[in-house]
Structure formats: structure tokens, C-alpha cells
Chain A
Amino acid sequence: MAYDYAKYLRAGKIPHIWCPGCGYGIIMKSIIRAVDGLGMNKDDLVFTSGIGCASRLPGYIDANTLHTTHGRSLGFATGVKMAKPELNVIALGGDGDMTAIGGNHFIHACRRNIDITCLVFNNYIYGMTGGQYSPTTPKAARATTSPYGNSDNQFDIAQLAIGAGASFVARSTTYHAVPMEKLIKQAIEHKGFSVVEIIAGCPTGYGRKNKLASPAGMIEWQKANSVNKVQWDKMTAEEQAGKFPIGVLHQEEKPEFIEAYDANVGLS
């Protein structure tokens, strides 16, 4: 029997709006398998998102969903989690949504260590608005706003999350559909703020301008340039150049925000 994705999808919403070969459909399937694998009840599950192609995802999922304003996925997620801590809250958004306009919300949610799962879909570009460079666009890469190549340095989302205090940080790619599913499960199960950065291809906004127009080629690129964390730690700086580690990059136990808050105000 084929995998029953339909039970977590809103009837009549597929086909989705994403372009042919957009990596987001692969991520959506990994997310569904993760929550299904954990046996999660749709009524106890909340998805929030900001604005962008990535942020369209909650519209397809048959759970409690909030498609909010640009960069504010985590603001709404925090409100939901504070009001109803028993719910599982997954806040998602693109690289632009989470690290440009929503960058402040992102670092402070990490610092706060609130028990929310944050999924950042990193396609290195503002996909929805036509391919402007984002904080994760590689240096020298082309975007509609950098026709001569990007002059800016790139944010490393996972490192940013670790530095800001997130207690679980992982990275995956759309090549690694099954490992991605497992990391999302681990992130959901982790108590505290967990971040999974997911590298995805945007053939339309990024690929076409950067000689990576084929969706399969973008997935092959992810395979060729990602290195498992265990192996990564044994590599020299020269060997690591141009590549990125995947897997669980950071995990620690530390006080969770709502528990600390409740203790402070005498609720527990």
C-alpha cells in the first residue's frame, strides 16, 4: 500500500501552488510522515507560518493552522504555546521570513528556549517575490537584486540558532527525505526550542539564475555538498570549505521558558 498522506491533507487542496520541482513538496511529505509516525492527533497539532512560498504549507495541512504576517510565525506560535502549552506547535517559514524580516523573532525565540519546533525552509532566496537575495544567499550568487553577484556574507541559520540559545539544532536537505523526517521527529520530541534548517531547491527563483535550473540537479547538489556531522567533525577546514554539515548539530538540556515562567508566577 502506498503511504496515506491524504489523512493529514485538506481535501481538495492538492495540487499545491508550488512550481514544478520546488523542494517544498518533498518537505511537506517528510513533515506529514514525522507527525504521523509520532501518532499525533491533528487536534493537538498547530502549524504557524509567515509569508512566502514556504509559508503556504500550513494551508494544505488538516490541523490547526495559522498563516500570519511576514516574519511573525514565531510570534503567533509563542502566543499559542503560552495560552495552550499542551498543544504541539510547529512554526515554519522561509529563510527570508525567519532570518530577514523575522530575524529578531527568531533569535529571541531561540534565546527564550520555549518548547516550539521551528522549521526553516532555506532555498537561499526570496522565492515568492521573484528571486531577490536573502540573508542566506551565497556570496557571489545571482539574484534579481544582485545581477552582478551577491556582495553580502551568508547567514548560517543553524549556527545562528545555536549562538542564540536554541537547545536542539539540526540541518537536513530534500535529498535526505527520510533522515529529514527523523530529524523533524527528534525536534518535535525535544523539550525546548528546536530548529531544523532544511535546504531546498527553488528552481524558479534561484536555480535558473545560478546554473542549477534542473530540480534534480539541485537535489544532486545537496547530496554532493552536505556532510554528516560525525564525518564533518573529522574534516580539516580546507575539506569543509564550500560544504555544510547535516544531522543533529547541537542538543542540550536546559530550562524551558513556560516551565520557568509558571514557576516564577507561582503557577507550578
Chain B
Amino acid sequence: MAKAEKIEIYVNLCKGCEICVELCPVDALEMKDFKAAVKDLDKCIACMQCELRCPDFAIEVYKQ
């Protein structure tokens, strides 16, 4: 399974829509102060779905 080296979240761009958090297949993300945040990087399988579906260019996944 692919892994992510880093997940970058730009809180200035994040509008807190929760799309990335709710659609992550492995529950690797969470909401913190109305913005997306990384909950558990080890869980991430680098499927890229959060990055593809974020409407606001606010989350980037860097594969290992």
C-alpha cells in the first residue's frame, strides 16, 4: 500500500467543508477549529482522493 510522506493543509485556503475528512477511506484526517487537519499520517494510503476533491486547493498529499 502506498504511503504519504507529508500532507500539506493550507489553513488560509481551507473553507472547512469537510469533504476531505468525510471521504477519506481510512479516516486519516479530522476537523480542528473548523479546518481540515491530519489525524494520523500513518493511516494514509496516498489514494489522493482528498487532494482531487478539495474544491479549494487547500490540501496536498506528497507520496513517499
Residues of A within 8 A of B (CB): 1-3, 5, 14-16, 18-26, 29, 174-175, 177-178, 203, 214-217, 219-220
Which residues of B lie under 8 Å from residue A18 when comparing CB positions?
55
A3/B18 contact (C-beta < 8 A), A14-B13, A216-B23 known: no
Q: Which of A1, A24, A203, A219 contacts B53 (CB 8 A)?
A: A219
A23–B55 CB distance below 8 A: yes
Q: How far is the CB of B36 from chain A (nearest CB, A)?
A: 11
Q: Which of A1, A15, A24, A216 contacts B19 (CB 8 A)?
A: A216
B19–A215 CB distance below 8 A: yes
Could you give 30 example pairs across A and B, Cβ below 8 Å? A1-B62, A2-B60, A2-B61, A3-B51, A14-B13, A14-B57, A15-B13, A18-B55, A21-B18, A21-B55, A22-B55, A23-B55, A25-B55, A25-B56, A25-B57, A26-B54, A26-B55, A177-B52, A177-B53, A178-B52, A214-B18, A215-B55, A216-B17, A216-B18, A216-B19, A216-B22, A219-B19, A219-B23, A219-B53, A220-B23
B35-64 CB contacts (< 8 Å) to partner A: 51-57, 60-62
* Interface residue count on the B side (C-beta < 8 Å): 20
A20–B17 CB distance below 8 A: yes
Residues of B within 8 A of A (CB): 8, 13, 15-19, 21-23, 51-57, 60-62
Complex formed: what's the CA distance from A215 to B51 in Å? 15
Q: How far is the CB of B14 from chain A (nearest CB, A)?
A: 9
Which residues of A lie under 8 Å from residue B23 when comparing CB positions?
216, 219-220
Give A33's nearest chain B residue, CB to CB.
Answer: B52
Residue from A5, A14, A220 whose CB has the most chain B CB atoms within 10 Å: A14
B18–A215 CB distance below 8 A: yes
A2/B17 contact (C-beta < 8 A), A15-B56, A16-B56, A216-B22 known: no
A29–B52 CB distance below 8 A: yes
Q: How far is the CB of A21 from chain B (nearest CB, A)?
A: 3
Which residues of A lie under 8 Å from residue B53 when comparing CB positions?
26, 174-175, 177, 219
Q: How far is the CB of A237 from chain B (nearest CB, A)?
A: 31
Complex formed: what's the CA distance from A42 to B53 in Å? 24
B16–A20 CB distance below 8 A: yes
Complex formed: what's the CA distance from A104 to B53 in Å? 33
Give A23's nearest chain B residue, CB to CB.
Answer: B55
Q: How far is the CB of B3 from chain A (nearest CB, A)?
A: 16
Which residues of A lie under 8 Å from residue B13 when comparing CB positions?
14-15
Complex formed: what's the CA distance from A96 to B21 in Å? 31
